[in-house]
C-alpha cells in the first residue's frame, strides 16, 4: 500500500496556472478572459445577476420565463433563425435561470467566434418577447411541471423547499407553480427584463482559443453600445429556522420512498463555508467513503445512493440528505440518517477521516474545471460571490487549516437532528412513517 | 448514463443527476465519433498477454482519466441470469486480498480522485478521474482487481439489495424507464438485447456466487480488456509502468462468441404500458444495422437532421409548430456490437393524444421517404457532426469513453478516423434510401405509456403533520 503515503504538497503550481484577466467596460460590464489554446473552441458565458429570488411573491417563475424567452426571438431574428444559425455551425446557445443568477452562453468553434458573440449579444440586448412565443413557452413550462410530477425526487424537493424557505424568496421552484405562472403577463416579462438586464448586472466570461485582444475587441463591438443601467437593489434575507420536527407525507403509488430530510444552511460567503464543506464530506458528500453511504448503503443495503448537501447560495441555502429506499425500510433509513447526523455532532471525527476528507477536497480541486464550460462556470461564480481569483491558489490552504474541533463545532452549529423538515414521497401509508 | 437505447448503468450517480430523467441524459450525453480534427491521436500498444492499451497525451490541465473496458455486458448473459454483468460490476468494489473491501475507493478518494463504473448491453467499464500524477495508483488498483477478486456470500446478499433499489429507482418507479425496458423486450425476441442491463428482479434473486465467479473468470482477462489513459501524461514514461503492472496477469481463455441472431422482424409490434403517471410517452424503435454497415453513416446523418438542435425537424414540427410534445427526439448509435434500434421518443403535452403524436412522428418519417432533405439540412448535419467531434475532446473522460466504446463493440478506434470522411460523402439520396429501407411499418415496435390516475389523490397540503420533539 505504498500509495497511501502520497502527500499533497505539489498542488499550488496547478492552481497558479488559472490566471484570468478581468476588466470592467465603460458601460459597467465585468469581463473575464482566460486563454486556452489546446482546442479550437470558445465558450462565451454571461452570468446575469438576477434569478428566481427576484421574482415577485405572487409571480414565481418570472425570471425563468424571461431567461427561457431570450433565445426565442430578437428584434431582428426569429426563434427559428436563431436556432438555425447556431445549429448550422454545430454550436450551442443556452439560457437558464437559477435562484441567484441566470446564465446565457454560446459555445462555438474558433472559426465561428464572431457568430457566437453576435447571437449571444443579440439575445441579451434585443429579445423580442413576442406575444405568441410568450404564450407558447408558458404552456411548455406548464407541461414540464406536469411531467416533473412523474419524478418523485422533484416532488419531494419542491415540498421540502416550501417547508424550509417558508416566506422566503427560495421557497418556490425556479420555474414557478401553475398558479403563479398563470398570473404572469407579457408586461411583467418586459418590465423584469428592463429592470434586471443591463451591462452592470453582467459578468461576461470568455474561455478558450481566443486572445485577450480579440476578446476585448469583440466585447466592445457587440456589447459596447448597450446602455449603462442602474445596479438593482437587493434585499438579503435569512430563512426562518425550522422550529420543530415537521413531516410532510406525499402519497404516490411507488415501490420506493423518496426521502429528503434537512433544514436551513449557510450562505456561500460564510466564514465557515470551508469547514462545513469538510464536515459535510465526512457526513454524506464524500461518495463511497462518506458515513451515510457506509452505513445506509454498504452496511444495511437500504439504498442505491445517499448524499448530504449544503447548498450554499447568496443568501443562506439549505442542508439536506436525500435517498430512496423500498417502502418497507423507510423508517429504518430515516433513523439511520438521524443517527449519523447525531453522531457527527456528538463526537469528533477521527484523524483519518479528517485527513482523507482534506486530501480529497484539495486533490480533486483541478477536476472541477477540467473542461472549458466548467472553467467558464467556475470563473463566473467566483466573481459573482466575490471570492477573488486567489480562490484558485488559496483553496487548498482554506481546507487544510480545518481541525477536528472545527468540524465538530460546525456540526453542532449547523446540523440539527431534532428540528428539521422531513418529506417522504411514496406509499406512505404502508411505510408507516413516524410522525 | 447515455440514455435509453443502450441502458447503461452507472454504479452511482449523484442525487442531482438522479433527478434528471433518462430523456435529458440522452439528449446531453449522446456519443458521437471523433473527426480527424483530433488534437492528439491515441498511441496504441498491445501487451504480451493481449491487452490493448491506448494512451492520449492531453497537457491542457494537470488531470487524467484511467479507464478499463471489458468486452462483457448484458449481451453476454443467458436467460434466467439477466443482470449478471451489472451485478459483477457492483461486486468488483468488494476487494481483493491485497486491497480488501473499501480500500479501492478510499485510496482513490484520498488521492483526490473519483472512481465509478458502468455497464451496458455490450461492455462494462471502470474509471478513475484524478490528478495526472496519481495515474499509477489507479493503474495499480485496476491491475489488482483484474484477477483475484474476493467474492463473498454475505457481500453478495447485501449488494443484491442495493441493486434491487437501483432497479426500483430506474425502472419500477420511473414510467419512462419502464417503457424503454418494455420496448427492447418487444423488439428483440431471441437476442440478449431483449433483457435489461439491470436484470429482472427474479433473476437478481437467483444469482449465485458461482454465476459471478464464472462470469468473472470468463470475461475479466487482459485479452478481453482495453486500458485507456487520457490526460496530462507522457506515454513513453507511463508504458513501462503499465507493462510492469499488467503483463504479469496471464492471458485468459478467449470468450466464446455470442452467436444468437435476431431474425428479421415481419410486421409491426405494438404495446401499451398502463401505470400511474402524469404524462403520456411514445416510443418507436426500428431495427437497424450497426457500424459494420455502410448504411450506418446515412442513418447517423438522418438522426441529426431529425433531432439535433432546436432547428431540427422533430423539434420544429412537434414542439414548436404543433405543440403536441414537450420533448421529442431520435437516437441512433452505430457503436453497438450487434444491430440495435433507431428509436424515436416523444413526451406528450398534457391534453394532447398520444395517437396524434405518433401520427406526427410517422408523418416526419414519410416526408423524408418522399422528398429528400435539403442540401442546407445535410450540410448543417455534417457541420454538427464535425463540431461535436471537437467539443467532445474538451473532456478527457468523454474522449476516453468514445475510444473505449469504439474498441469494446468491435469497431476499433481507428475506424473513428474514417468516420468523418464517410459522413462527408453521404448524399441526400442516401438519406432518403435508408429512410425507405429501414424506417418501415413492418420493421417497427411502438410502445405507448398510458397514464392512469393515481390510486389515491395527492393532497400534499392536507398531509402536513407536525410532531415533537
Per DSSP bridges, beta strands B52-57 and B225-231 are parallel
Closest CA–CA distance from residue A387 to any residue of chain B (Å): 22
Between B59, B169, B347, which is nearest A324 by CB? B169
Contact A143 B349 (CB under 8 A): yes
Q: Does B454 touch chain A (CB under 8 A)?
A: yes
Cβ contacts below 8 Å, chain A against chain B, sum to 263
Q: Does B462 touch chain A (CB under 8 A)?
A: no
Residue A4 has pLDDT above 60, yes or no: no
Closest CA to B254 of B50, B48, B47: B50
Look at residue A154 in the predicted model and tell me its pLDDT.
Answer: 96
Look at residue A230 in the predicted model and tell me its pLDDT.
Answer: 80
Question: What is the 8-class DSSP label of residue B188?
Answer: -
Closest CA to A87 of A119, A131, A129: A119
Q: How confident is the model at residue A288 (pLDDT cuts 50, 70, 90)?
A: confident
B420 interaction partners in chain A (CB closer than 8 Å): none
Mean pLDDT confidence for A44-63: 96
Per DSSP bridges, beta strands A41-48 and A102-109 are antiparallel
* Percent of residues, chain B, with pLDDT higher than 90: 84
Question: What is the 8-class DSSP label of residue B264?
Answer: P
Closest CA–CA distance from residue A257 to any residue of chain B (Å): 10
Alpha helices in A281-425 (DSSP H): 291-292, 330-346, 351-363, 372-384, 391-400, 404-414
Alpha-carbon distance of B212 to A235, in angstroms, equals 59
Question: What is the 8-class DSSP label of residue A242?
Answer: P
Contact A304 B165 (CB under 8 A): yes
Q: How confident is the model at residue A239 (pLDDT cuts 50, 70, 90)?
A: confident
Alpha-carbon distances, residue A168 vs A115, A161, A195, A312 (angstroms) = 40, 10, 21, 15
Find the range with the poorest average confidence among A311-325, B41-55, B415-429.
B415-429
Q: How confident is the model at residue A139 (pLDDT cuts 50, 70, 90)?
A: very high
Q: How confident is the model at residue B362 (pLDDT cuts 50, 70, 90)?
A: very high
* Percent of residues, chain A, with pLDDT higher than 90: 90
A159 interaction partners in chain B (CB closer than 8 Å): 460
Look at residue A7 in the predicted model and tell me its pLDDT.
Answer: 31
The helix/strand/coil state of B107 is helix
What cell numbers appear for A127 in the block?
A: 429579445
Residues 6+ apart with CB under 8 A from B190: B260, B261, B262, B263
A71 interaction partners in chain B (CB closer than 8 Å): 310
Between A245, A254, A286, which is nearest B109 by CB? A286
Mean pLDDT confidence for A175-194: 97
Between A1, A305, A364, which is nearest B12 by CB? A305
Q: Which domains does chain B have, with CATH numbers?
A: 9-246 (3.30.830.10), 269-452 (3.30.830.10)
Q: How confident is the model at residue A311 (pLDDT cuts 50, 70, 90)?
A: very high
Mean pLDDT confidence for B419-446: 95
Between A91, A157, A362, which is nearest B112 by CB? A362
Contact B311 A355 (CB under 8 A): no
A139 interaction partners in chain B (CB closer than 8 Å): 323, 349
Residue A10 has pLDDT above 70, yes or no: no
A40 interaction partners in chain B (CB closer than 8 Å): 37, 390
B326 interaction partners in chain A (CB closer than 8 Å): 140, 143-144, 147
* B positions 389-408 inside 8 Å of A (CB): 390-391, 393-396
Q: Which helix (H) or strand (E) holds B270?
A: strand B269-276
> How high does pLDDT run on average in chain B?
89
What cell numbers appear for B207 in the block?
A: 444469482
Q: How confident is the model at residue B2 (pLDDT cuts 50, 70, 90)?
A: very low
Residue A88 has pLDDT above 60, yes or no: yes
Look at residue B39 in the predicted model and tell me its pLDDT.
Answer: 60
Count of residues making up chain A? 435
Mean pLDDT confidence for B357-382: 96
Determine contact, residues B408/B69, Cβ cutoff 8 Å: yes
Contact A363 B460 (CB under 8 A): no
Residues 6+ apart with CB under 8 A from A85: A77, A115, A119
Give yes or no: B331 in active site. no
Look at residue A135 in the predicted model and tell me its pLDDT.
Answer: 97
Closest CA–CA distance from residue A354 to any residue of chain B (Å): 10
In a mutational test of the A interface, the residue from B14, B16, B18, B91 whose CB has the highest number of chain A CBs within 10 Å is: B18
Alpha-carbon distance of B309 to A259, in angstroms, equals 36
Contact B469 A356 (CB under 8 A): no
Look at residue A349 in the predicted model and tell me its pLDDT.
Answer: 98
Contact B310 A144 (CB under 8 A): no
What pLDDT, in 10s, does the model give residues B7-42?
Answer: 333 333 332 222 223 333 333 333 333 343 556 789
A91 interaction partners in chain B (CB closer than 8 Å): 387
Closest CA to B125 of B76, B67, B166, B82: B67
Mean pLDDT confidence for A292-312: 95
Closest CA to A261 of A300, A296, A301: A296
Between A142, A287, A301, which is nearest B158 by CB? A301
Q: How confident is the model at residue A24 (pLDDT cuts 50, 70, 90)?
A: very high
Look at residue B461 in the predicted model and tell me its pLDDT.
Answer: 40
B466 interaction partners in chain A (CB closer than 8 Å): 244-247, 435
* B positions 141-170 inside 8 Å of A (CB): 157-166, 168-169
In a mutational test of the B interface, the residue from A119, A130, A151, A352 whose CB has the highest number of chain B CBs within 10 Å is: A151
Residue B178 has pLDDT above 60, yes or no: yes
Q: How confident is the model at residue B455 (pLDDT cuts 50, 70, 90)?
A: low
How far, in whole angstroms, is CA A122 from its chain's centroid?
26
Alpha-carbon distance of A148 to B19, in angstroms, equals 9
Nearest-by-CA chain A residue for B166: A304
Look at residue B40 in the predicted model and tell me its pLDDT.
Answer: 76
Q: Does B106 touch chain A (CB under 8 A)?
A: yes
The helix/strand/coil state of B253 is coil
Determine contact, residues B292/B221, Cβ cutoff 8 Å: no
What pLDDT, in 10s, does the model give residues B35-76?
Answer: 435 567 899 999 999 999 999 999 989 999 999 999 999 999
Residue B456 has pLDDT above 90, yes or no: no
Mean pLDDT confidence for A42-51: 98
Mean pLDDT confidence for A67-71: 98
Q: Which domains does chain A have, with CATH numbers?
A: 19-223 (3.30.830.10), 246-431 (3.30.830.10)
**Beta carbons within 10 angstroms of residue A366's beta carbon:** 22
Alpha-carbon distance of B116 to B375, in angstroms, equals 43
Alpha-carbon distance of A305 to A310, in angstroms, equals 17
Alpha-carbon distance of A364 to B130, in angstroms, equals 7
Nearest-by-CA chain B residue for A84: B311
Which candidate in B41, B44, B77, B89 is catalytic? Answer: B89
Determine contact, residues B145/B99, Cβ cutoff 8 Å: yes
Between A17, A153, A364, which is nearest B114 by CB? A364
What pLDDT, in 10s, does the model give residues B111-148?
Answer: 999 999 999 999 999 999 999 999 999 999 999 999 99
Alpha-carbon distance of B399 to B391, in angstroms, equals 10
Closest CA–CA distance from residue A229 to any residue of chain B (Å): 32
Q: Give A104's Cβ-side CA count (13 Å radius).
A: 27
Residue A21 has pLDDT above 80, yes or no: yes
Task: Indicate the Cα dihedral angle B400, B401, B407, B408, nearest 10°.
Answer: 140
Contact B111 A359 (CB under 8 A): yes
* Percent of residues, chain B, with pLDDT higher than 70: 88
In a mutational test of the A interface, the residue from B9, B15, B128, B393 whose CB has the highest number of chain A CBs within 10 Å is: B15
What pLDDT, in 10s, does the model give residues B189-234?
Answer: 999 999 999 999 999 999 999 999 999 999 999 999 999 999 999 9
Look at residue A126 in the predicted model and tell me its pLDDT.
Answer: 98
Task: Compute and round to an integer the Cα radius of gyration of chain B.
Answer: 23
Q: Does B259 touch chain A (CB under 8 A)?
A: no
Look at residue B163 in the predicted model and tell me its pLDDT.
Answer: 97
Nearest-by-CA chain A residue for B22: A151
Mean pLDDT confidence for A159-182: 95
Nearest-by-CA chain A residue for B459: A250
A370 interaction partners in chain B (CB closer than 8 Å): 61, 63, 129, 395-396
Kindly provide the ipTM of the predicted complex, given to two decimals: 0.92
Alpha-carbon distances, residue A406 vs A58, A266, A289, A365, A414 (angstroms) = 41, 16, 20, 21, 12
B173 interaction partners in chain A (CB closer than 8 Å): 152, 254-256, 324
Q: Does B137 touch chain A (CB under 8 A)?
A: yes
Q: C-alpha angle A342/A343/A347, rounded to 5°?
A: 125
Alpha-carbon distance of B445 to B188, in angstroms, equals 10
Look at residue B38 in the predicted model and tell me its pLDDT.
Answer: 54
Mean pLDDT confidence for A61-90: 98
**Beta carbons within 10 angstroms of residue B463's beta carbon:** 16
Residue A359 has pLDDT above 50, yes or no: yes
Amino acid at each position: 500500500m505504498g500509495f497511501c503515503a502520497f502527500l499533497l504538497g505539489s498542488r499550488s503550481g496547478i492552481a497558479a496556472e488559472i490566471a484570468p484577466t478581468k476588466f470592467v467596460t465603460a458601460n459597467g460590464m465585468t469581463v473575464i478572459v482566460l486563454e486556452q489554446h489546446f482546442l479550437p473552441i470558445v465558450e462565451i458565458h454571461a452570468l446575469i445577476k438576477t434569478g428566481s429570488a427576484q421574482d415577485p411573491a405572487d409571480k414565481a417563475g418570472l425570471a425563468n420565463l424571461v431567461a427561457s424567452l431570450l433565445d426565442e426571438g430578437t428584434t431582428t431574428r426569429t426563434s427559428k433563425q436563431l436556432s438555425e444559425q447556431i445549429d448550422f455551425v454545430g454550436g450551442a446557445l443556452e439560457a437558464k435561470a437559477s435562484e441567484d443568477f441566470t446564465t446565457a452562453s454560446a459555445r462555438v468553434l474558433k472559426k465561428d467566434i464572431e457568430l457566437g458573440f453576435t447571437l449571444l449579444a443579440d439575445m441579451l440586448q434585443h429579445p423580442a418577447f413576442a406575444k405568441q412565443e410568450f404564450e407558447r413557452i408558458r404552456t411548455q413550462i406548464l407541461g414540464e411541471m406536469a411531467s416533473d410530477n412523474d419524478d418523485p425526487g422533484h416532488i419531494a424537493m419542491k415540498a421540502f423547499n416550501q417547508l424550509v424557505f417558508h416566506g422566503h424568496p427560495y421557497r418556490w421552484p425556479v420555474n414557478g407553480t401553475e398558479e403563479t405562472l398563470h398570473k404572469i403577463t407579457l408586461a411583467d416579462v418586459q418590465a423584469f427584463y428592463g429592470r434586471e438586464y443591463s451591462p452592470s448586472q453582467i459578468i461576461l466570461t470568455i474561455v478558450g482559443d481566443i486572445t485577450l485582444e480579440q476578446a476585448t475587441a469583440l466585447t466592445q463591438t457587440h456589447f459596447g453600445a448597450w446602455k449603462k443601467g442602474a445596479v438593482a437593489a437587493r434585499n438579503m434575507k435569512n430563512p426562518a429556522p425550522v422550529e420543530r420536527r415537521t413531516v410532510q407525507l406525499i402519497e404516490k403509488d411507488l415501490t420506493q420512498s423518496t426521502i429528503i430530510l434537512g433544514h436551513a444552511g449557510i450562505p456561500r460567503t460564510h466564514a465557515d463555508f470551508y469547514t462545513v464543506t469538510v464536515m459535510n464530506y465526512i457526513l454524506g458528500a464524500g461518495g463511497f467513503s462518506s458515513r451515510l453511504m457506509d452505513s445506509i448503503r454498504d452496511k444495511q443495503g437500504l439504498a442505491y445512493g445517499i448524499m448530504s448537501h449544503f447548498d450554499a447560495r447568496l443568501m443562506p441555502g439549505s442542508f439536506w440528505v436525500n435517498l430512496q429506499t423500498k417502502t418497507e425500510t423507510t423508517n429504518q433509513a430515516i433513523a439511520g440518517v438521524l443517527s449519523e447526523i447525531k453522531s457527527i455532532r456528538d463526537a469528533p471525527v477521527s484523524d483519518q477521516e479528517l485527513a482523507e476528507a482534506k486530501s480529497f477536497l484539495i486533490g480533486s480541486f483541478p477536476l472541477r474545471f477540467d473542461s472549458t464550460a466548467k472553467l467558464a462556470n467556475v470563473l463566473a461564480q467566483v466573481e459573482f460571490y466575490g471570492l477573488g481569483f486567489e480562490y484558485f491558489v488559496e483553496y487548498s490552504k482554506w481546507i487544510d487549516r480545518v481541525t477536528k474541533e472545527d468540524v465538530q463545532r460546525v456540526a453542532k452549529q449547523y446540523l440539527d437532528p431534532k428540528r428539521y423538515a422531513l418529506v417522504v414521497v411514496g406509499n406512505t401509508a404502508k411505510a408507516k412513517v413516524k410522525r | 448514463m447515455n440514455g435509453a437505447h443502450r441502458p447503461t448503468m452507472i454504479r452511482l450517480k449523484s442525487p442531482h443527476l438522479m433527478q434528471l430523467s433518462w430523456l435529458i441524459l440522452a439528449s446531453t450525453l449522446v456519443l458521437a465519433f471523433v473527426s480527424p480534427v483530433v488534437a492528439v491521436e491515441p498511441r496504441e500498444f498491445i501487451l504480451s498477454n493481449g491487452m490493448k492499451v491506448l494512451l492520449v497525451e492531453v497537457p491542457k490541465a494537470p488531470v487524467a482519466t484511467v479507464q478499463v473496458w471489458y468486452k462483457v455486458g448484458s449481451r453476454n448473459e443467458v436467460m434466467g441470469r439477466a443482470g449478471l454483468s451489472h451485478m459483477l460490476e457492483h461486486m468488483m468494489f468488494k476487494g481483493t486480498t491485497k486491497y480488501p473491501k473499501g480500500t479501492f475507493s478510499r485510496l482513490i478518494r484520498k488521492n483526490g480522485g473519483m472512481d465509478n463504473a458502468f455497464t451496458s448491453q455490450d461492455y462494462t467499464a471502470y474509471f478513475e478521474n484524478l490528478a495526472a500524477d496519481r495515474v499509477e495508483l489507479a493503474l495499480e488498483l485496476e491491475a489488482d482487481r483484474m484477477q483475484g477478486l474476493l467474492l463473498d456470500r454475505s457481500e453478495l446478499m447485501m449488494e443484491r439489495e442495493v441493486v434491487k433499489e437501483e432497479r426500483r429507482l430506474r425502472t419500477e418507479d420511473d414510467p419512462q424507464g419502464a417503457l424503454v425496458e418494455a420496448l427492447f423486450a418487444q423488439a428483440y425476441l431471441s437476442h440478449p438485447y431483449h433483457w435489461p442491463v439491470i436484470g429482472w428482479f427474479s433473476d437478481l434473486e437467483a444469482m449465485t456466487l458461482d454465476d459471478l465467479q464464472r462470469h468473472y473468470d470468463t470475461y475479466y482477462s487482459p485479452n478481453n480488456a482495453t486500458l485507456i489513459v487520457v490526460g496530462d501524461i507522457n506515454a513513453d514514461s507511463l508504458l513501462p509502468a503499465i507493462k510492469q503492472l499488467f503483463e504479469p496477469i496471464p492471458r485468459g481463455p478467449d470468450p466464446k462468441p455470442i452467436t444468437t441472431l435476431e431474425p428479421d422482424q415481419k410486421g409491426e409490434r405494438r404495446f401499451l404500458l398502463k401505470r400511474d403517471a402524469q404524462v403520456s410517452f411514445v416510443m418507436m424503435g426500428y431495427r437497424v444495422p450497426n457500424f459494420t454497415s455502410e448504411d450506418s453513416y446515412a442513418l447517423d446523418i438522418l438522426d441529426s437532421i431529425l433531432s439535433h438542435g432546436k432547428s431540427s425537424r422533430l423539434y420544429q414540427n412537434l414542439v414548436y409548430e404543433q405543440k403536441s410534445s414537450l420533448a421529442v427526439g431520435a437516437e441512433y448509435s452505430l457503436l453497438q456490437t450487434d444491430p440495435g434500434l433507431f428509436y424515436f421518443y416523444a413526451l406528450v403535452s398534457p391534453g394532447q393524444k398520444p395517437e396524434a403524436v405518433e401520427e406526427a412522428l410517422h408523418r416526419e418519417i414519410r416526408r423524408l421517404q418522399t422528398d429528400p432533405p435539403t442540401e442546407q439540412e445535410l450540410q448543417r448535419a455534417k457541420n454538427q457532426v464535425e463540431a461535436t467531434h471537437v467539443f467532445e475532446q474538451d473532456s478527457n473522460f468523454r474522449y476516453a469513453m468514445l475510444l473505449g466504446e469504439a474498441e469494446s463493440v468491435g469497431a476499433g478506434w481507428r475506424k473513428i478516423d474514417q468516420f468523418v470522411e464517410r459522413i462527408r460523402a453521404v448524399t441526400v439520396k442516401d438519406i432518403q434510401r435508408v429512410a425507405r429501407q429501414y424506417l418501415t411499418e413492418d420493421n417497427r415496435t411502438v410502445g405507448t405509456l398510458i397514464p392512469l390516475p393515481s390510486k389515491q389523490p395527492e393532497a400534499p397540503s392536507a398531509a402536513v403533520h407536525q410532531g415533537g420533539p
